[in-house]
Amino acid sequence: MAEELSAGGIRVVPTALGDAAGAAGAVSASVRSGVGDLLAGSGWQAAGDAGCADALSRAARLLEQTLDAAADGVSDLGRALAVARDAYRTVDTVAVPGASR
């Protein structure tokens, strides 16, 4: 993120948004691979008992879907960020005393 907002010499927005957007994608990928190991290669069969393995498989599959939804949330976040940055560049910003672009 190129632009910066300073208030009292503290850089606020660009760094925070950049951290948030980047971290969200990276963590989701590692977490999803962890849960994916349960499903890939039938890791759930390690439970031994068929009924328990089914329950584990079902939980892992639904958890994976939950993480997929979280990944979609990252996209939503990115889109909202793009709109907000665009608004920030134009006229949609309320000036804050002491803040300067």
Query: Which residue among 1, 3, 4, 37 contacts another protein (CB under 8 A)?
Result: 37
- Quick note: the x/- pattern for another protein over 56-75, rule CB under 8 A, is x-xxx-xx-xxx-xx--xx-
- Measure Cα distances from 12 to 19, 34, 54, 96, 100 in Å: 11, 33, 48, 13, 12
Phi-psi region of 8 (alpha: psi -120 to 50; beta: other; left: phi over 0): left
The residue assigned the tokens 């939503």 is 76
Residues 2-31 binding another protein (CB under 8 A) are 5, 7, 12-13, 16-17, 19-20, 23-24, 27-28, 30-31
d(CA 54, CA 48): 10
To the nearest whole angstrom, how small is the minimum distance from the Cβ of residue 43 to another protein?
6
Residue 39 as a binder of another protein (CB under 8 A): the answer is no
d(CA 80, CA 89): 14
Assess contact for 65 and 36: CB atoms under 8 A.
Answer: no
State the residues that interact with another protein by CB under 8 A: 5, 7, 12-13, 16-17, 19-20, 23-24, 27-28, 30-31, 34-35, 37-38, 43, 45-52, 55-56, 58-60, 62-63, 65-67, 69-70, 73-74, 76-77, 79-81, 83-84, 86-88, 92-94, 96, 99
